Structure 1
Amino acid sequence: MRKYLNLAMSLAIFLLFIVPSVASANQITLKAVLPEYYPGSNVIIKTGDVLYSSKTFGTSTQIVGHIAIVASDLRVYHVNPADDGAGSGGKADALYNYFGRHGKGETIKVYRAAHGSKAAAWAKDNYNKVTNYSIPIFSWNDFKLGTINPNYCSKFIWQAFYYGNSNTDYIIGYYTPSKEAYVTPAQIIDSSDLTYAGSFITP
């Protein structure tokens, strides 16, 4: 009889430990957030992703190459020439609004950056300071990489990486805000800080 009593007590103690564990596991499962993917791809959307689209004149945004960055709110931050009612400049697009700026079936490439998260946070905090899109030709002051407004897409992304990461040039390696130079989308994606993660087709 004592043997069965001991067995019953052992079983009761075991259940006291195992039942809360199962409940906790269920709670974790219910609260788990499934990953989100870029449309029609197996590429997971991540903060700091750099989106690159290689265009030719005559397509949806009338520019040759465009580059943007995804922030923690899953919005795409970029600078473009489109006047959305408030002029050209900095944009904060929901993902599918950003895709809608491209023609259906266009390819967007995704690059992962070692220092992308802080760059994305800077872009989110500063995109609204850009109220005019311009690639400078005649104004040497605007030609400097530190000029926030006016701005253009790839310079804005260079600034995001530079200012977002304690004034360190992770894109080119030796540029400074006082330098008079262009930054192209190709220079961004060719940076050693970025790694190609895949691509997707705009819906």
Structure 2
Amino acid sequence: MATLTSHNYMVGLFIFMVISLGSGYEYFSMEWLDNGEKGEKSNDTFKYYNTGVRVGIIDPEKYSLKSFKRHEKYFRNTLKTYNKLKGDDPLTYGEWLLLNNYGILRDTQMSILENKKKALSKRNNKKNFVKTVRKGDILLTNKKGTGLVGHVGMMATNKCAIEMPGGKGWASGIKDNNRRLSAGAWFDEYSSAYTMVYRCLGKGVANKAGDWAYHNYYNPKGGRKKTIHTTYRITPDFSKKNPSYCSKLVLQAFYFTERRVVIDHVIRYGPFIIPAKITSYFTPHCEMSYVGRF
């Protein structure tokens, strides 16, 4: 087993999490990942894909080598962005893939980057989405442009979501980026990709988290007028509400209302909360149920 140095401490802990919590994952060596320098570009696509298969992240029947090849350009470009953001001790390509779980959702083992079927009726799908979502639900979709895979928001009420959408200039910070939007507006905004809906089976926990998100990222009194203005910036400080970013907002909403529902050592798994892995940060006290994708 290769020795974990300071630069891959974060990934080493994530690997421990994979081994400890994952179903059917096998013990593996860091030597499978990268033998080159940080950020080195390699044509050995199969090696990285096979690593994902061997550790149980990738199910070849649900995520093919062909699909992985198609996503590699995006992965490598996103890695470059991540390493610029992280600064010291940049990650290798293999480490970054593991950190982001290859963009694979842990429960369904489908890729968050999967293209939406054109034959899917937008009108009916939107209607079903609006009827399905409720307060406290986590909304996970794909949005490119940051060093992390995926984008996440949450339903603060039965009818509206709270999110930090980011956008152009996100790396240096975007002022007043927090916003409220109706469930229908969320669907329209991200209609080019699937939205996966997750629900905490503890309704009381979900309701409190929804309230916290609204009161801390929109209006402390619960009013319709926006009185909180949060800057979008990805930073490693989990405790602060400003600046913030998408997945940090969501996890804070649960953590600061009932801490036992989020793993105590959440920050040890890396300086940033990975959107595509959002459900893996929760304990059995807030079991996340996959509601569906729209």
**Same fold, TM-score > 0.5, yes or no:** yes
Task: Tell me how far 1:183 sits from its aligned partner.
Answer: 1.3
How many pairs does the alignment contain?
149
2:292 is matched with 198
User: Which of 219, 230, 234 lines up with 1:131 in the alignment?
Assistant: 230
- Structure-1 separation of matches of 2:148 and 2:270: 22
- CA 1:171/1:48 → structure 2, altered by over 3 Å: closer, same or farther? same
Residue 171 in 1 paired to residue 262 in 2? yes
- Structure-2 separation of matches of 1:89 and 1:169: 29
Task: Tell me how far 1:194 sits from its aligned partner.
Answer: 1.2
User: Which of 100, 104, 118 lines up with 2:188 in the alignment?
Assistant: 100
CA RMSD, 1 decimal: 3.1
- Structure-2 separation of matches of 1:119 and 1:134: 22
2:152 is matched with 67
- Structure-1 separation of matches of 2:237 and 2:178: 18
1:20 is matched with none
Do 1:87 and 1:131's aligned partners in 2 also have CA atoms closer than 8 Å? Answer: yes
**Match of 1:184, as an amino acid?**
I
Which whole-Å deviations, capped at 9, do the CAs of 1:132-178 have from their partners, x for residues lacking one? 10112xxxxxx22101100011111111001122xx142334347x9
Residue 155 in 1 paired to residue 254 in 2? no
Structure showing the higher helix proportion among its residues = 2
1:47 is matched with 135
User: Which of 112, 119, 129 lines up with 2:199 in the alignment?
Assistant: 112
Off by >4 Å, runs of 4+ in structure 1: none
- Structure-1 separation of matches of 2:125 and 2:157: 15
Residue 189 in 1 paired to residue 288 in 2? no
Mean Cα deviation higher: 179-188 or 114-123: 179-188
- Structure-1 separation of matches of 2:164 and 2:237: 17
Task: Tell me how far 1:195 sits from its aligned partner.
Answer: 1.2
- Partner secondary structure for residue 273 of structure 2: coil
Larger radius of gyration: 1
Do 1:144 and 1:179's aligned partners in 2 also have CA atoms closer than 8 Å? Answer: no
Do 1:68 and 1:78's aligned partners in 2 also have CA atoms closer than 8 Å? Answer: yes
Do 1:171 and 1:187's aligned partners in 2 also have CA atoms closer than 8 Å? Answer: no
- Structure-2 separation of matches of 1:50 and 1:38: 18
Do 2:149 and 2:275's aligned partners in 1 also have CA atoms closer than 8 Å? Answer: no
Task: Tell me how far 1:95 sits from its aligned partner.
Answer: 1.6
- CA 1:81/1:105 → structure 2, altered by over 3 Å: closer, same or farther? closer
TM-score calculated relative to the size of structure 2: 0.44
- CA 1:87/1:73 → structure 2, altered by over 3 Å: closer, same or farther? farther
Do 1:135 and 1:152's aligned partners in 2 also have CA atoms closer than 8 Å? Answer: yes
Mean Cα deviation higher: 104-113 or 183-192: 183-192
> Unmatched 5+ residue regions in structure 1?
1-36, 137-142
* Structure of higher RCO (CA pairs closer than 8 Å, 6+ residues apart): 1
- Structure-1 separation of matches of 2:209 and 2:253: 5
**Match of 1:196, as an amino acid?**
Y
- Partner secondary structure for residue 126 of structure 2: coil
